[in-house]
Amino acid sequence: MKNFIVPDNIAISDSGFIFLPSTGETFTLNEMGKEIFKLLQAKKSLEEISSEIIKEYDIDEHTLERDIEDFILRLKSLNLVIQV
């Protein structure tokens, strides 16, 4: 199982705004994006993230798995997570 972590120097604000100090880039996330990003920051595994979300939100496992995969792919290409 692959896992991902957020580098320490990246912070996210309550409004879902990320500033990458090393490059000056900024990003905006929606509510769910913010939630998952914060879970990643808390060093949760993808499995843990998925089960936490299923507990709280009205969503099925397969759709969520696809969406998280796609989201992580985006984060990776934007250098906001590192695979470990």
Partner 1 sequence: MKLAITGLNATDNPGPGVPLIRSLKHSEEFDAEIIGLIYDVLEPGIYMENLTKKNYLIPYPSSGLENLYERLSYIQQQEKIDVIIPTLDSELFGFVKLEDKLEELGINMFLPTFEQLNIRAKDKLFDFCSDNEINVPKNILVSSISELQKIPEDFDYPVVVKGIFYDAYIVNNLEEAKTAFLKISSKWGLPIIIQEYLKGDEFNVVALGDGTGQTIGAVAMRKLYITDKGKGWAGITIFDNNLIEISKKVIERIKWRSGMELEFIRSSETGQYFLLEINPRFPVWVYLAPNAGQNLPYALLQLALGNQVQPFDNYKVGTIFVRSSWDLITDISVFEKITTKGEI
Partner 2 sequence: MSSKKIYERPIITKNQSGFMNKFGSSSLVKPKVEIDGVLVKDLVDKWGSPLFVISEKQIRSNQRNALRIFKSRYPKVQFAWSYKTNYLKAVCAVFHSEGSWAEVVSEFEYQKARRLGIPGENIIFNGPDKSDSALLNAINENAKIHIDHFDELYKLIELTEETQKKANVAIRVNMDVGVYPKWDRFGFNYENGEAWQALKRIITSRNLKLIGLHTHIGTYMMSADAYKTATIKLVDLAKGLKNNYNLNLEYIDLGGGFASHNTLLGQYLPAEEVVPSIEQFADAISSGLFELSGSLDELPTLILETGRALIDDAGYLITKVLANKRLSTGKRAIIIDAGVNILFTSFWYKHKIHPANETGVHTEESAIYGPLCMNIDCIRESIVFPNVKKDDLLVIDYVGAYDMTQWMQFINMRPNVVMIMQDGTVELIRKSEDIDYIEQQEILPATLKNFK
Would you tell me which residues interact with partner 2 (CB under 8 A)? Answer: 18, 25-33, 35-37, 53, 56-59, 63-64, 67-68, 70-71, 73-75, 77-78, 80
Give the Å distances, CA to CA, from 36 to 7, 49, 67: 15, 7, 11
> 27 or 45, CB closer to partner 2?
27
> 19 or 71, CB closer to partner 1?
19
Q: Which does 6 bind (CB under 5 to 8 A by kind): partner 2, partner 1, none?
A: none
> 28 or 51, CB closer to partner 1?
28
Q: What span, in angstroms and rounded, lies between the C-alpha atoms of 15 and 21?
A: 18
* Residue 52 main-chain phi, psi, to 5 deg: -65, -40
Is residue 25 within 8 Å of residue 17, measured between CB atoms? no
